[in-house]
Amino acid sequence: NAGVTQTPKFRILKIGQSMTLQCTQDMNHNYMYWYRQDPGMGLKLIYYSVGAGITDKGEVPNGYNVSRSTTEDFPLRLELAAPSQTSVYFCASSYSKQDRAIRETQYFGPGTRLLVL
């Protein structure tokens, strides 16, 4: 298994441009997440999905959009990039069972480093 893969690894955007960060997992996990990590900080949740067709906002969703058309893929869309979106973006996935009280481990992709100038 490749686990969680992300593309691209690095990207430079100009202010106002848009782009899509790709994320794919091959572990048949139902939950997927997008986090951002600013320099010297911990990760903050942007969006998450509990299954195909179902997404919801996390802690810092402004300026981003997501979709989940398949179990495997969870792309993150940046519209009108701003310097404040300069960050490292991590995609993660986990398998969560019917018991909502159980929190399974989230496994992370290698990250996408984004620079907005």
Instruction: Please report whether residue 65 would count as binding other proteins according to CB under 8 A.
Output: no
Instruction: Please report whether residue 52 would count as binding other proteins according to CB under 8 A.
Output: no
Instruction: Please report whether residue 25 would count as binding other proteins according to CB under 8 A.
Output: no
Q: Which of 2, 1, 3, 10 is nearest to 89 (CA)?
A: 10
Q: Which of 109, 117, 42, 45 is nearest to 85 (CA)?
A: 117
Size of the site for other proteins (CB under 8 A): 32
Stretch that binds other proteins, among 12-20, 52-60, 63-71, 77-85 (CB under 8 A): 52-60
| Residue appearing with tokens 């992300």 | 6
Stretch that binds other proteins, among 15-23, 42-50, 65-73, 76-84 (CB under 8 A): 42-50
Find out whether 47 and 76 touch, Cβ atoms under 8 Å.
yes
Supply 34's token pair: 């997008």
Supply 111's token pair: 């990250």
Instruction: Please report whether residue 115 would count as binding other proteins according to CB under 8 A.
Output: no
Q: Compute the distance between CA of residue 45 and CA of residue 63 in angstroms, rounded to an integer.
A: 13
Least distance in angstroms from the C-beta of 108 to other proteins: 4
- Contacting other proteins (CB under 8 A), which of 23, 24, 89, 111? 111
- Contacting other proteins (CB under 8 A), which of 58, 61, 63, 75? 58
